[in-house]
Chain A
Amino acid sequence: MDYQIDFDLIFRSLPVLLRGLLVTIELWVPTVLIGLTAGFLLSLARLSKSATLRLPSLFYIELFRDTPVLIQLIWFFYAFPIIIGVQLSPFVAALLGLTLNTSAYSAEIFRGGMQSIAQGQWEGARALGMRRSKILQRIILPQVFKRMLPAFTNRIIEIAKMSSLASVLSVHELMYQGRLLSSTYYRPFEILTTVAFIYFVLIYPGTWLSARLERRMAEKA
Chain B
Amino acid sequence: MSYHWDFSGVWSRWDLLLAGLINTIKIAGISIVFGVIVGLILAFLKLSPRRFLSAPATVFIEFYRNTPPIIHFFWFYYALPVLANVSLDPFVAAVLALSTQSGAFYAEVFRGGIISIEKGQWEGARALGMRHSQMMRRIILPQAMARMFAPFVERSFELTKTTALASTLAYADLLYQAMLVNSATFRPLEVYTTIALMYVILLVTASTLARIAEARLTAYR
Contacts and interface: CB of A to CB of B under 8 A. Distances in A.
Interface of A: 1, 3, 62-63, 66-72, 74-75, 78-80, 82-83, 85, 157, 160-165, 167-168, 175, 178-179, 182, 187-189, 192-193, 195-196, 199-200, 203-204, 207
A200 B165 CA distance: 20
A83 B164 contact: no
Nearest to A82: B189
B175 interface: yes
Nearest to B197: A67
A63 B82 CA distance: 40
Contacts of A192: 71, 74-75, 78-79
Interface of B: 1, 3, 62-63, 65-71, 74-75, 78-80, 82-85, 161-165, 167-168, 175, 182, 188-189, 191-193, 195-196, 199-200, 203-204
A82 B175 contact: no
Nearest to A179: B74
B175 A199 contact: no
B192 A193 contact: no
Contacts of B199: 66-68, 71
A75 B62 contact: no
A164 B71 contact: yes
Contacts of A187: 82
A159 B82 CA distance: 30
A1 B69 CA distance: 26
Given A179-B74, A192-B79, 12 more contacts: A3-B85, A62-B200, A70-B165, A70-B167, A71-B195, A75-B196, A83-B1, A163-B68, A182-B74, A188-B75, A196-B63, A207-B65
Contact of A204 (B62, B162, B167, B182): B62
A67 B200 contact: yes
A164 B70 contact: yes
A154 B77 CA distance: 28
Given A66-B203, A83-B3, A189-B82, A196 B75 contact: yes
A68 B168 CA distance: 14
Contacts of A70: 164-165, 167, 175
